[in-house]
Amino acid sequence: MRDLHGRENDLAHHLLLVSERHKADHEVYHLARDLAVWSQRHVRALAEAAPSYGIDLSAEPEGKATLAERLRERGSELLGLRSDAGLLMLRDLRTVYTEAAGISLDWEMVGQAAKAAQDDQLLQLVQQCHPDTLRQMRWANAKLKESSPQVLVG
C-alpha cells in the first residue's frame, strides 16, 4: 500500500510536469492535469484506508512541480537546450504509460490480496481507483499512437 501510494504520487507529479512542458498542445495540457487529479484522489483514498492496516500515509499529494524544476525547464527553453518538442512529448507519454502500467499491476495485486483476505473495504477501494489508472494508461497509449508517426516519420 505504501509503494502504491508513492507511485500514484509520482504519476500525479509527472502528469503535472507533462502538462507544463506541453502547454502548446491544449489537449495534452488539460487532459494531463485532469489525469493528475485522479492520481491525487487515489493518494488521498489510500491515505484514508492505510490506518486500518497500521500504515501512516500522507493524504496530501506531492504532485506539484517545485520551483527549481520550473526554473530549470524555463531556463532550458530560453537557452534553446531543450530537445525536439515532439521527441520530448513521446518520451513523456511513454513514461506516463509505463508508470500507469506499473500502478495498474499494483492495483491488481492489492485487489487479489483483498479478495484472499476477504477485505471488502480494500476491494472496494481497488474497484474505485483501478479503472482510472487503466484510463490513464489508455490515454497515453492512444496519444503515443497518434503522435509517433508525425514525430518519427514526419
Rounded average pLDDT over 69-89: 60
What's the total number of domains in the chain?
1
Q: Which pLDDT belongs to residue 65?
A: 52
Greater model confidence, 78 or 44: 44
Closest CA to 30 of 15, 9, 43: 15
Say how many CA atoms lie within 13 Å of 3 toward its Cβ.
9
- Which pLDDT score is estimated for 73? 55
Range of the domain at 28: 2-152
Any idea what the CATH number is for the domain that residue 60 is in? Answer: 1.20.1260
Asked if residue 108 lies in contact with residue 130, where contact means CB atoms within 8 angstroms, the answer is yes
| 83-122 per-position pLDDT tens digit | 588 899 999 999 999 999 999 999 999 999 999 999 999 9
Q: Which pTM was predicted?
A: 0.86
> What is the chain's mean pLDDT, rounded?
89
Higher-scoring residue by pLDDT: 33, 74: 33
* CA–CA distance, 154 with 134 (Å, rounded to integer): 30
